[in-house]
Amino acid sequence: MHDQPKYPPLRASAFFGDDRSARPLVSGTVARGHLRQDSLLETGKIGNTDADVFPFAVDAQVLTRGRERFNIYCSPCHGQTGNGDGMVVQRGFRRPPSYHIDRLRMAAAGHFVDVMLNGIGAMPDFSDRVDARDRWAITAYIRALQLSQHATVGDVPSSERGALQ
């Protein structure tokens, strides 16, 4: 295999009419595993607007996965409770906003997905590290964190309210 005809990268070739040995991609082809048919799942948007609906049902399994991924990718900066006081911040890096400020509590769920996908401010994009379903799972967990800090007695099921008093 060492001694075989081949073209080094970007070497000219007289075989093709355009003198290139490397062939351009055939238009309309999609690499295996890269077909993006569900734009809500992939981008967090419906049209050009941040979506406020999840592309799949959120259950305990999704929240568990979201917590796991949040603790890996988000908590170093955002902290485990989402207050923006993670270990990276404690070491002197720029503090991210708390998830508990009104602007982010009122933001559509798709906003968080879009930020993970594209980055914002000092936050880099995580599109190459966190896949689409995990971005939504993290978003669901962020919503749970927000609710944990701003819940009222009315949010507790009536059967469980007696345990609070």
Q: Which tens digits make up the pLDDT trace of 75-85?
A: 999 999 999 99
According to the model, what pLDDT value does residue 42 have?
92
* pTM across the whole model: 0.77
Phi first, then psi, for residue 46 (nearest 5°) are -115, 110
* Distance (Å, whole) CA 162 – CA 144: 22
For the four alpha carbons of 156, 161, 164 and 165, in that order, the dihedral sign comes to positive
Two structure tokens written together for 104 = 């982010």
Report phi then psi at 45, rounded to 5: -125, 150
With a cut of 70, list the residues of the chain below it in pLDDT.
1, 165
Q: Would you state the pLDDT for residue 105?
A: 96
**pLDDT tens-digit profile of 28-51?**
887 777 777 888 999 999 999 999
128: phi then psi, degrees, rounded to nearest 5: -85, -10
Beta-carbon contacts of 96 under 8 Å, excluding residues fewer than 6 positions away, are 77, 78, 84, 89, 121, 122, 123
Architecture of domain 58-151: Orthogonal Bundle (1.10)
pLDDT the model gives residue 74: 96
CB neighbours of 151 closer than 8 A, spacing ≥ 6? none
Longest CA span, the chain: 84
Sketch the domain layout of the chain as residue ranges.
58-151
What the block records as the tokens of 86 is: 């993670």
